[in-house]
Amino acid sequence: MAAYPVDPRDPDPAYLSFWRERHLCTLTTLRPDGSPHVVPVGVTYDPEAGLARVITNKSSAKVGHVLAAGADGARVAVCQVDGRRWATLEGRARVSVDRARVAEAERRYAERYGRVPAPNPARVVIEVELTSAMGRG
């Protein structure tokens, strides 16, 4: 696996492979007081689009934190770790309610995690426009 930093749009094969494995991840957003809010999530990584995606309920705290940041999006990080291997993706997050975008995020989630998410009419997708990446193996 690559040592950090990594080009989020052109990761080496080992880094990309690590993001294709099934791992629980974390999403870090910032609360209004600036303190970090770190929660477990499923994340999919799409280097071709320069995006990481998290499906979630529209009433979740993480969605509220992203929306509170305004139109420019919220600075966030997603991370996964497996023993000595770790990988972090950073960027600007925005929330989408667009059904096609949510469906694409659900499809990618099912591909990575091996299960189709249960139907949820309140589901949205947090899309992270990637600005940087790092990791070590």
pTM over 0.85: yes
* Residue 136 confidence (pLDDT): 82
Q: What pLDDT, on a 0 to 100 scale, did the predictor assign at position 3?
A: 57
What does the pLDDT average to over 30-58?
A: 97
Instruction: With a cut of 60, say whether residue 38 has pLDDT above it.
Output: yes
Would you say 124 and 58 are in contact if contact means Cβ atoms under 8 Å apart?
yes
The backbone torsions φ and ψ at residue 20, rounded to the nearest 5 degrees and listed phi first, read -90, -20
pLDDT, one tens digit per residue, over 16-29 is 999 999 999 999 99
Helix spans in the chain (H):
13-20, 61-68, 99-113
pLDDT of residue 4: 85
As a whole number, mean pLDDT of residues 22-40 equals: 97
pLDDT digits (tens, 9 = 90+) for 75-134: 999 999 999 999 999 999 999 999 999 999 999 999 999 999 999 999 999 999 999 999
Identify the pLDDT of residue 63: 98
Average pLDDT over residues 32-45: 97
Strands (DSSP E) found in 1-137: 25-30, 36-41, 44-46, 51-57, 74-82, 85-96, 123-136
- pLDDT beyond 90 at 2: no
Res 46 pLDDT > 60: yes
